[in-house]
Structure 1
């Protein structure tokens, strides 16, 4: 059975897929540096040292230059430290200088472009890599990541399918699961991720699978299953920041904001990303505490990302929104939309327009955010509030009901607003 068929029929037959990191499953989908099932984080420093030692002895080994570049990129992902990006770029460029046009280096540069959020460049590099090696499953993975973020849904599904055909394994499983989720097939996505869990052997990979099973359960409002998956994931590897980020949401749903903030302290200590720090700021606000320190750190994280070759107007828009600057947020989100028509970006444009008092302009964007069929309580909440401000009480009622039916605890600030607003609609 093929992934294209999974979009339209139930997942009944066994699929031999595998695991990879899902962009932003616990937060922003702009975090697209996909994890490697082949190189667990704990082994990265030793791998990097081995590659460096090999290159001192054989400086013309283009395959090791490519491997070193990819290892630096994985280290950047694992540590949320973009200062590894220039190192990755240097090693991958050296591989190309030694062996022009080699698919390994082009694929690595494509993955680096994805991590820097230059998805158009990543797509082009992946296509170049596939021209050099049409049988590279890894290059198809890079293409799938870029196409997804560019809003090229059919191309992304096709790339995932090629990856599955050529390189069945953990990275393929997760991309397949994510693609299904994007099309609103959450049940199939869960079943496929459970198959990935049976294939995982490294503690970090096992924890990763539990993390995304927890995220899928949380998005559906199944707090008990999400909590169970988080516990299993932390038992496998307690250093996975994404699990602590999800745990903070479960703790907040139980009304324990102090525990939720403690969880987020662990997250930002391990991976101080803009996404995590903005979430921490919102949780501090929900707890009646000052969010300014978290927002200040988020600004610093964004500047560091940009200084190392990244582009993230979506993250900058989220920062502006959190800091109470909706007009600036609109400009930044629209700039991101000009580069890529992805659902998350459409939602950001819509919500910033609504917050800036321009709800009628927001309506077509929030509809674009839902176009593929993914069921997201936050997007449904945004749609409901935008519709109400635009004078469409029927749509407002339906969308707010949807948000709360998907997950009545989806956000400690927004969920109570949805409940009160829905009650006011009668």
Structure 2
């Protein structure tokens, strides 16, 4: 399962509560000088808590400081991301709207855009980012929010243009990461890795290094290079042992190389510390593979609870709802939710989920169309090509099935613990009966 890769942009403040352009922990400007040992010891969540406390202290003295209200709101958004706690979203919105009530300022608009992206309200995020760009056309952070929203809304040209503008204005870590993801979606993994390599070369803070290593690890895994992926994940964990996405990536590598108990240990840690629907679903899939269906069912219950908490705090994610329904065999609900999500954002992940739901519901003609859309939009994703091959096998389209199975094997034979071997067997059967 691919997790949603949105990015969170934060605005600069007079207090330097946060540095501009934070992308999943990346900072464009260096942190306050401290010893290397202290840097490694201070977890991102702790740094966010300190930033929130500093902003709150200042606002007690200067309650009409609109920039600090904006910074506080963005700090809540970032802390929610780090801790997987969406209950912070209403606090973020309150602080950001208070900032706007004091003065209409680009920092608060960028923050509201970042919050909307976090809640998966990508249309609202695009609106706020557009307003921020109108107020300040030289704000790279606003273009970052705009790029993230446009990507999820299926506006590939708009996303690329926003990323390019961000690169022109501030060619740092946040811009490189977005440009790399844009290239990855287009299937250009080589250039995507080159850009992330440049980002890594520019990184000095442990959190930045961990982020870059995780992106490079994901890129390597997605092209089937387990050794390179594992090396990046290990190097990232050496820089920042608490960066959870690295453990998630290492779990995938360990599972693919047969170290299932170690993979389960990593996945359990991630699910416990960042209990989002996708981390819990991923852990459930691994437990089911390991022959522990009761524990897998428990994780699905927890994923459902996490999804409800997300929605209760202003989030909208029918994709997660559809994936939960698929995991439980409820095809009708999966189709309904995936259709609703696709109407909001025709992103490749959503098209692929809708194709799977329709296929499992026996609607293969409709499923094939969405599967082709997913493959066309993200041609380097082995899971997408496998799902299209599955549908073709069911409908008797042997040529398409063979082509997509070959592509799946070329892209990444390790894309799924269960589906990878199944794809290999299906291809071998087709090749034997040519």
Q: Find the counterpart in structure 1 of residue 115 from structure 2.
A: 112
Q: How far apart are the structure 2 equivalents of 1:119 and 1:278?
A: 23
Shift of 1:260: 1.1
Q: How far apart are the structure 2 equivalents of 1:328 and 1:73?
A: 30
Whether contact under 8 Å (2:348, 2:378) holds in the other structure is no
Whether contact under 8 Å (1:36, 1:171) holds in the other structure is no
Shift of 1:66: 0.3
Q: Find the counterpart in structure 2 of residue 302 from structure 1.
A: 307
Shift of 1:404: 1.8
Whether contact under 8 Å (2:26, 2:211) holds in the other structure is no
The correspondence for 1:412, drawn from 417, 422, 430, is 417
Q: How far apart are the structure 2 equivalents of 1:278 and 1:397?
A: 30
- Residues 83-112 of structure 1: CA deviation (Å, up to 9, x unaligned): 11011001000000000x211101100010
The correspondence for 1:91, drawn from 80, 83, 95, is 95
1:127 aligns with 2:127: no
The correspondence for 1:226, drawn from 226, 229, 235, is 229
Structure 2 residue runs of 5 or longer lacking an equivalent are 9-22, 32-43
Shift of 1:29: 2.1
Shift of 1:240: 1.0
Mapping of residues 368-383 of structure 1, within 5 Å? 368-383=373-388
Q: Find the counterpart in structure 1 of residue 24 from structure 2.
A: 35
CA RMSD of aligned residues (A): 1.3
Q: How far apart are the structure 2 equivalents of 1:424 and 1:46?
A: 59
> Which of 62-71 and 319-328 deviates more?
319-328
Whether contact under 8 Å (2:113, 2:129) holds in the other structure is yes
Between 1 and 2, higher relative CO (CA 8 Å, sep ≥ 6) is seen in: 1
The correspondence for 2:78, drawn from 63, 68, 74, is 74
Mapping of residues 285-324 of structure 1, within 5 Å? 285-290=288-293, 291-324=296-329
| Structure 2 counterpart SS, 1:59 | coil
| Structure 1 counterpart SS, 2:138 | coil
Mapping of residues 233-244 of structure 1, within 5 Å? 233-244=236-247
Whether contact under 8 Å (2:385, 2:407) holds in the other structure is yes
Q: Find the counterpart in structure 1 of residue 267 from structure 2.
A: 264
| Structure 2 counterpart SS, 1:397 | helix
The correspondence for 1:153, drawn from 137, 143, 156, is 156
Shift of 1:345: 0.8
> Which of 333-342 and 412-421 deviates more?
412-421
- Residues 315-372 of structure 1: CA deviation (Å, up to 9, x unaligned): 0001001111122111100100111111111111111111111111111111111223
Q: Find the counterpart in structure 2 of residue 422 from structure 1.
A: 427
Shift of 1:424: 2.2
Could you tell me the TM-score, scaled by structure 2's length?
A: 0.90
The correspondence for 1:199, drawn from 191, 197, 202, is 202
> Which of 186-195 and 369-378 deviates more?
369-378
Q: Find the counterpart in structure 2 of residue 20 from structure 1.
A: none
Could you tell me the TM-score, scaled by structure 1's length?
A: 0.92
